């Protein structure tokens, strides 16, 4: 790394410390470094070209579609039906309400593609319900926050699409399928912690419902769950691409929320479309700015320097992967997922490939790692939403969060060191 690299790093972190928005910090740091490297006119032109080029991708068209479908379904009564379905299926088990919370957040996060939406939609019902039944409010909020992150792994997931772009061409279909087992493992690990915690505290369980009631609750939630199978089934079978799947998800969510469930009125669509446009604009600005930064980092050889440094630290691949995970956990605590994936994939992916890790396996590892960052102070966005919903503080949430956090770390280590967890399903479907 030469002086240009130091300028980039120092400028970027200085702007972050000054509370400059992340997208502007990335863009300004990139422009300053370019000005330090070449003359003004070509520097400005190059930054502009890289900003535009970063979002000039057919694959990225899937993001606004999935954002819109997620917002529609978030208002379409999906959360209520998923909670009732989960309650009917597992509410009678030890720690039943906590398990219902995990299952509901996992399903809603997968359907909506948003951990924040899952935390808000599920948490606004489940946290008061758990507190009413004797659960500690902070524990309930911690369960909601951690389980909501599983939607980052279980498709349709925007962050997996972004990783596909950042990695230079990993199949979105393969990534979508690869995320299932790790996402389910995280949910199961959280459920084990919840069951143990509830048993130790003596929390009550719900009565087992008759089969007819269970059947009705599952049937009511089935149309919502069907979206996952439509999207993945169509992509795997080659009927449509990920971008086309996003458009189909919008049509399906509209029919479900407006016609079937009648929870969304057409008069509300202008507000939903505006919110969708705002969210998409933020994501696309981050992608464009991060793409420009990735280019300048490659230009001044930062990824190569870091790769060489890590590979000279040890000849043990297990140790190097552990160091990468530690770095990403720290990064995730201070940076949002989208810029983190776009900036650090070009840095760490070459190291992972040098160690024999496939880009597909690394993609699941980095997304799971940065998902943990969503519930890590001081910047974890999901953590802030969970605290707002539960009307509590981050300080009070830390203690009940620790065992759940550790469960996620255990799954992260399994995913890191057991490639089959990520690669089994893609290989099974011929996508690996």
Band (pLDDT 50/70/90 cuts) for residue 432 is low
Is the backbone of residue 391 left (phi > 0), alpha (psi -120 to 50) or beta?
Answer: left
393: helix, coil or strand?
Answer: coil
pLDDT at 410 over 90: yes
Distances (CA, A) of 338 to 18, 99, 296: 20, 29, 18
Considering only CA atoms, which of 333, 332, 342, 352 is closest in space to residue 417?
Answer: 352
Q: Residues of the chain with pLDDT > 70: what percent?
A: 99
Angle, in degrees to the nearest 10, between helices 420-428 and 359-373:
130
Query: Which is higher by pLDDT, 375 or 5?
Result: 375
Greater confidence (286 vs 378) lies with: 286
- In tens, the pLDDT along 212-226 reads 889 999 998 898 888
Give 167-173 contacts, CB < 8 A, sequence gap 24+.
167/345, 167/349, 167/359, 167/362, 167/363, 170/359, 170/360, 170/363, 171/360, 171/426, 171/431, 172/59, 172/62, 172/235, 172/242, 173/235, 173/236, 173/242, 173/431
Which residue do the tokens 């659960």 mark? 135
Q: Is the pLDDT of residue 167 over 50?
A: yes
Q: What is the pLDDT of residues 97-139, one digit of tens each?
A: 899 999 998 888 888 778 888 888 888 889 998 888 888 999 9
Q: What is the DSSP string of 157-199?
A: -HHHHHHHHHTTS--HHHHHHHTHHHHHHHHHHHHHHHHHHHH
Question: What are the pLDDT digits (tens) for 295-348?
Answer: 888 888 888 888 888 888 888 999 999 999 999 999 888 888 888 998 899 999
| pLDDT tens by residue, 257-299 | 898 888 889 899 999 999 999 989 988 988 898 888 888 888 8
Residue 196 pLDDT exceeds 60: yes
Task: Judge whether 159 and 150 are in contact, CB under 8 Å.
Answer: no
Tokens of 222: 């089935």
CB 172 within 8 A of CB 242: yes
Q: pLDDT value at position 143?
A: 94
Cα separation, 414 vs 179, whole angstroms: 14
Distances (CA, A) of 65 to 158, 244, 252: 10, 9, 11
Determine contact, residues 114/151, Cβ cutoff 8 Å: yes
d(CA 119, CA 215): 26
CA torsion angle for 311, 315, 316, 318 (degrees, to 10)?
20
Count of domains for the chain? 1
- Please tell me the predicted confidence (pLDDT) of residue 1: 46
DSSP string, 281-335: HHHHHHHHHHHHHHHHHHHTTHHHHHHHHHHHH-S-HHHHHHHHHHHHHHHHHHS
CB 43 within 8 A of CB 281: no
Residues spanned by the domain of 68: 3-428
Q: Is the CB of residue 70 less than 8 Å from the CB of residue 118?
A: no
pLDDT of residue 2: 59
Higher pLDDT, 390 or 431: 390
Please say whether the beta carbons of 152 and 159 come within 8 A.
yes
CA distance readout (Å), 234 to 227, 248, 303, 384, 413: 11, 10, 36, 36, 31
pLDDT score recorded for residue 116: 85
Distance CA 127, CA 136 (A): 9
Cα 43 from chain centroid (whole Å): 34
The CA-based dihedral angle spanning residues 195, 197, 200, 203, taken in that order and rounded to the nearest 10 degrees: -70
Q: What is the C-alpha end-to-end distance of the chain, expressed in Å?
A: 34
How many CB atoms are closer than 10 A to CB 411? 22
| Cβ atoms of residues 349 and 170 within 8 Å | no
pLDDT at 383 over 70: yes
């Amino acid at each position: 790394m030469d002086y240009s690299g130091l300028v980039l790093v120092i400028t970027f972190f200085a702007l972050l410390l000054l509370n400059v928005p992340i997208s502007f910090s990335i863009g300004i740091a990139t422009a300053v470094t370019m000005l330090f490297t070449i003359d003004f006119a070509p520097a400005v032109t190059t930054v502009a070209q890289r900003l535009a080029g970063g979002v000039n991708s057919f694959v990225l068209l899937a993001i606004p579609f999935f954002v819109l479908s997620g917002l529609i379904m978030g208002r379409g009564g999906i959360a209520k039906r998923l909670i009732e379905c989960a309650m009917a299926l597992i509410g009678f088990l030890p720690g039943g309400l906590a398990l219902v919370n995990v299952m509901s957040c996992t399903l809603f996060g997968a359907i909506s593609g948003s951990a924040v939406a899952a935390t808000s939609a599920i948490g606004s019902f489940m946290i008061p319900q758990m507190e009413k039944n004797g659960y500690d409010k902070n524990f309930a909020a911690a369960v909601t926050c951690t389980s909501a992150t599983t939607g980052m792994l279980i498709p349709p997931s925007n962050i997996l699409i972004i990783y596909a772009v950042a990695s230079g061409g990993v199949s979105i279909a393969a990534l979508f399928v690869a995320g299932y087992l790790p996402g389910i493992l995280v949910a199961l690990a959280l459920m084990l912690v919840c069951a143990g915690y509830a048993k130790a505290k003596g929390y009550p369980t719900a009565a087992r419902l008759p089969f007819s009631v269970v059947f009705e609750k599952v049937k009511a939630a089935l149309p919502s769950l069907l979206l996952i199978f439509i999207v993945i089934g169509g992509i795997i079978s080659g009927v449509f691409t990920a971008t086309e799947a996003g458009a189909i998800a919008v049509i399906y969510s509209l029919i479900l929320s407006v016609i079937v469930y009648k929870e969304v009125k057409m008069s509300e669509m202008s507000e939903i479309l505006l919110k969708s446009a705002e969210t998409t604009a933020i994501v696309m600005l981050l992608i464009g700015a991060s793409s420009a930064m990735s280019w300048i980092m490659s230009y001044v050889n930062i990824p190569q320097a870091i790769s060489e440094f890590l590979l000279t630290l040890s000849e043990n691949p297990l140790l190097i992967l552990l160091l990468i995970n530690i770095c990403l956990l720290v990064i995730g605590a201070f940076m949002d997922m989208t810029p983190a994936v776009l900036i650090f994939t070009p840095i760490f992916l070459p190291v992972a490939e040098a160690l024999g890790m496939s880009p597909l396996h690394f993609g699941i590892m980095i997304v799971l790692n940065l998902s943990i960052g969503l519930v890590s102070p001081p910047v974890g966005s999901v953590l802030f939403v969970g605290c707002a919903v539960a009307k509590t503080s981050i300080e009070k949430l830390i203690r009940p969060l620790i065992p759940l956090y550790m469960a996620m770390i255990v799954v992260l280590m399994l995913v890191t060191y057991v490639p089959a967890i990520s690669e089994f399903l893609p290989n099974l479907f011929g996508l690996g």
